Structure 1
Amino acid sequence: MTMNEEVACLITEAESQQRCAFVTTRALRDACERRVVGGPRGADGKISARTQPGGDECGRSSSEEAGDVRKKQHRRIHRNLVRPFPGMYISKTVWSKLAPWEQRLYVARTLTVMHPNWVFVGFVAALAYGLWVHTDLLAEPMIVMTQTHHRNRKQAGLEFVECHNMPTDILMADGVRVPPIEFVIADCIRRYPFVFAKPVLDAALHMGHCSIKEVLMAGEQWRVDNNALLRCGYYAHGELESAAEAFAHAVIIDLNFTEPILQKTFTDPENGKTYRTDFAWPRGDAFCVLEVDGLIKYREEPYLRQRSLAQVVNDQESRSRALQMRCGVMTMRRVKYSQICDFDYMEQMLKSMGVPRDYGPV
């Protein structure tokens, strides 16, 4: 088998397992490096005859033969790989089509194969369980839990943390070694701010993976700050239906606004139609209503139901008019996911809507 064929087999096998390829020999590493987009070349900008697959072992030949080999092999070696993590390789085309969270899982799966004893916690473990992880966390180091002291605590996008009471029932979730889900959630509550940690718990409740009590017990075992645990547990809701809703709800709470009514249903007295809203606040005889990512969630089935996007938008506008004109909605706003990430924008918008503040002790 030629070196080209070995590299191709390595990449194909890894991609079939939804991970990156890794190499165990210097020859394969050099072969992959030559194919990395933007990777190093020789001093003359070309691949040398010595390092070309199929050439003479020592690169010795007549000048004419060497020139022919260089031209032929230069055409054959395509720079079509990327190196997303030290020692890992994947097709540039495949990598570019992956969402950022999928890219992190590909790397984590590869590390799991390379290091079968590693156990992941933090956002990577939450992703492996299919929980809602905010995009800002994807730039954080991946956390590996160990029972012994690791000499290099932080290295190459990894952080090693000691855990002397590691759960005995370590699991495989989506190709990644992780603790039970309640410990993963408790670790996220310990590690990340409230607005990022609570949606992880919301997702687990929504999907029926665990209970708040189980998370509190896991947090107690791992000595997670009790106030952080109780705050997330108090405000967590399985009724939240998407990552955007869960994050918006966490931001509303963190900005000290009164907790909204979730999934409030309004009935149109004119035709009996019912409309369910994401967040609602009572204001006397009327309501303030906030909806999240209204247009985006209607792009997918079953919402379209053979209708065009223009028809869906028209229905959405008709719904808004009905809510405000006949259902007692005083003010109504829609926010995109990018706007939810702007805390100043959210605070000013909620103020302008007349949403009350809550400066309670929780």
Structure 2
Amino acid sequence: MPGIRLLPSAVHPSPVELVRVRDTVSGSRALRDPALFHRVRPGVYAPRTAWERLPPWDRYLARVHAYALVNPDAVFALASAAALLGLPLFGEARHIHLHAPHAARSRRFGDVFVHASVDDREIVERGGCRMTSRSHTAVDLMRVLPAPFGLAVGDAAISPVQGGDVEASELRELARDRADSRGSRVLRLTTAALDARSESVGESVSRGVVIWSGFETPELQVEFRSPGFVDRVDLFWVGADAIAESDGYEKYLAQTPEQTAERVIAEKRREDRLRRQCTAFGRWDMAAAIAVTPVVTELVRLGVRRVAAPRTGLLTPMRSNPRSLPRAARQRNRDETTPRG
């Protein structure tokens, strides 16, 4: 098994204060007051008001940090490593995932899943936490997630704009070397579709829906110039002269209503400039991409060519991702599913 590599940058910190009962000199009774504190896991609590404000992916990151507090020797894998490394999450994962290469078999207890593996993993240490490396974590997730979600994870690992520091060739090489054949078909498809030009999770998921619905693969980040402006677009099809944007509404939000209005107006003006330079223009959000049909309808309207039969089996699992808690699956309709540090 490869040794542990120390990396200088810190893991993504817990998004909420975590308090261990064993660290309190007094007041442990207050920690157990459900009106004041939420029990993240046995012996670890968070202020309830702050906890309830967290989106599902941040709740999961806090759960991972809570586990690390009481199990400092843990080696995190899959979604747990992704949370610490800043790779995309889709809702709130069901389990804390641990890497145990010398275990005789995988096992599950409570909300913890311990994974035995026939393949080695590169282990890195950041901020006192140990986890599988970004490249190994990405490939592991691309094997088990719905294909467009896996593509988003792989793109994030290689996209400089999204904080990626891995080469696509490294992910493809790791995928080829996996001894475990589980998910190998999906892994081949997703690694073949990787593109470091992707700038958001929503954009990557949308591209996966486009490709596996049988439509022509779009160009990414094409620039359109007009007097005084250079506008880059998410998706562009030369043959159809069509532009599509994957909308994430957080980019419009600002500290004041006036600033938010300014951003919305600026985006409307940008759209007007783009509409003057193409034959067809469309946009959709993450919820539409997950539903698939709205995107397919829009692609037909835009005149994008269908070049292959749809691979429906790669797309339908997005609607009820079994690796996420049900309440989280209903809330993952935002462009950026994991905040960037």
TM-score, L = length of structure 2: 0.74
Which residue of structure 1 aligns with residue 259 of structure 2?
308
Structure 1 segment 88-127 matched on structure 2, within 5 A: 88-127=44-83
Identity of aligned residues (%): 23
**2:146 paired residue among 193, 209, 224:** 193
1:354 equivalent in alignment to 2:303 = yes
Which residue of structure 1 aligns with residue 271 of structure 2?
320
2:175–2:187 contact (8 Å) kept in structure 1 = yes
Structure 1 counterpart of 2:238, which letter? Answer: P
Aligned with 1:171: secondary structure?
A: strand
**1:178 paired residue among 121, 131, 135:** 131
2:105–2:115 contact (8 Å) kept in structure 1 = no
2:252–2:263 contact (8 Å) kept in structure 1 = yes
Q: CA deviation at 1:131?
A: 1.5
Task: Pick closer, same or farther for the CA change 1:361–1:247 going to 2, 3 Å.
Answer: closer
Which one has more relative contact order, counting CA pairs under 8 Å at least 6 apart? 2
**2:232 paired residue among 262, 276, 282:** 276
1:153 equivalent in alignment to 2:75 = no
Q: Deviations over 1:14-37 (max 9, x none)?
A: x99956334469x999836741x2
1:330 equivalent in alignment to 2:328 = no
Distance 1:294 1:170 in 2: 33
Aligned with 2:241: secondary structure?
A: strand
TM-score, L = length of structure 1: 0.70
Distance 1:93 1:173 in 2: 29
2:21–2:31 contact (8 Å) kept in structure 1 = no
2:214–2:310 contact (8 Å) kept in structure 1 = no
Structure 1 segment 118-267 matched on structure 2, within 5 A: 118-135=74-91, 138-149=92-103, 153-167=107-121, 170-173=123-126, 176-206=129-159, 207-223=163-179, 225=181, 226-267=184-225
Distance 2:169 2:27 in 1: 48
Structure 1 counterpart of 2:300, which letter? Answer: K
Segment drifting more, 223-232 vs 108-117: 223-232
Segment drifting more, 98-107 vs 119-128: 98-107
Q: CA deviation at 1:84?
A: 3.0
Q: Deviations over 1:98-144 (max 9, x none)?
A: 33222211211221232233222111211211112222xx2332221
Task: Pick closer, same or farther for the CA change 1:90–1:265 going to 2, 3 Å.
Answer: same
Structure 1 segment 76-87 matched on structure 2, within 5 A: 79-87=35-43
Structure 2 counterpart of 1:249, which letter? Answer: R
1:105–1:128 contact (8 Å) kept in structure 2 = yes
| Structure 1: gaps (5+ residues) | 1-14, 38-78
Distance 1:125 1:322 in 2: 41
Task: Pick closer, same or farther for the CA change 1:162–1:350 going to 2, 3 Å.
Answer: same
Segment drifting more, 219-228 vs 234-243: 219-228
Which residue of structure 1 aligns with residue 316 of structure 2?
none
